[in-house]
Chain A
Amino acid sequence: EVQLLESGGGLVQPGGSLRLSCAASGFTFSSYDMSWVRQSPGKGLEWVSSITGRGGSIYYADSVKGRFTISRDNSKNTLYLQMNSLRAEDTAVYYCAKVDGYNFAGRRNLVFDYWGQGTLVTVSS
């Protein structure tokens, strides 16, 4: 059974830093891309960042580029999100998600097939 367990959320002041972790189990962690998706209170889902299985390719949403860093430790089956220079608008529940892919007509489609329960990050003074 696939399980994703986030941790590390909490209250932080504007300009501060926080590191989120996502412990994965139930699948071959290094074989899959992983992502972070967030949801601000009362709002929709927002993709934040993704990393390929071996960490060779990394992607960020414009809203977090230069402030957040995604990484993974395949020996520990753990995904991370280092968040610096936090702003009030970063307040959200942060979900980690396993990514699966399939090809169609020469294009790589991606799907978030499993999600963690999320960890709440509150940026406030």
Chain B
Amino acid sequence: SSELTQDPAVSVALGQTVRITCQGDSLRSYYASWYQQKPGQAPVLVIYGKNNRPSGIPDRFSGSSSGNTASLTITGAQAEDEADYYCNSRDSGGNLPAVFGGGTQLTVL
């Protein structure tokens, strides 16, 4: 079982705002990173750290964190944002480099 918990599925109307959350004890000590994965493709990093976007990621993607919960927000969701989203951090003890959340399937209506 994953140490990071995500809702399995979320939907959003085209152009509206959606928040995808990730909960886990490790998030009290480490930042979450967020990855977008479309069918048949490799994951792509979209947010890391406090709220950093790699080059080429649209600014409608943003991240935040509070306590044991990290959030990925898409402001003005587009059809191309429909994908699976995974959060990731170190394990709660910091002994292992990584653990992933179970993923959230985002549907843009």
Contact = CB atoms under 8 A, between A and B. Distances in A.
Q: Which label, helix, strand, loop or mixed, suits the secondary structure of the B interface? A: loop
A113 B35 CA distance: 9
Contacts of B43: 37, 45, 95, 112, 115
A115 B99 CA distance: 16
Given A44-B102, A45-B86, A113-B54, A107 B97 contact: no
A70 to B, nearest CB: 11
Contacts of B24: none
Contact of B30 (A33, A61, A109): A109
Interface string A86-110: 0000000001000100101001111
Nearest to A50: B97
Interface centre among A33, A44, A99 (most CB of B within 10 A): A44
A59 interface: yes
A32 to B, nearest CB: 12
Q: 9 shortest A-B CB distances, which residue pairs?
A: A47-B98, A44-B103, A115-B42, A111-B48, A50-B97, A45-B100, A111-B33, A44-B102, A109-B31
Size class of the A contact interface (CB-based, 8 Å) = 20 to 34
Given A35-B97, A109-B30, A113-B54, A44 B86 contact: yes
Nearest to B45: A113
Question: For the complex, would chain A's binding face be called helix, strand, loop or mixed by DSSP majority?
Answer: strand
B88 interface: yes
Given A44-B100, A59-B97, A104-B31, A109 B54 contact: no
B97 A33 contact: yes
Interface of B: 2, 29-31, 33, 35, 37, 42-45, 48-50, 54, 84, 86, 88-90, 94, 96-103
Nearest to A114: B45
A112 B33 contact: yes
Contacts of A115: 42-44
Nearest to B37: A45
B103 to A, nearest CB: 4
A81 to B, nearest CB: 15
Contact of A109 (B42, B44, B49, B99): B49
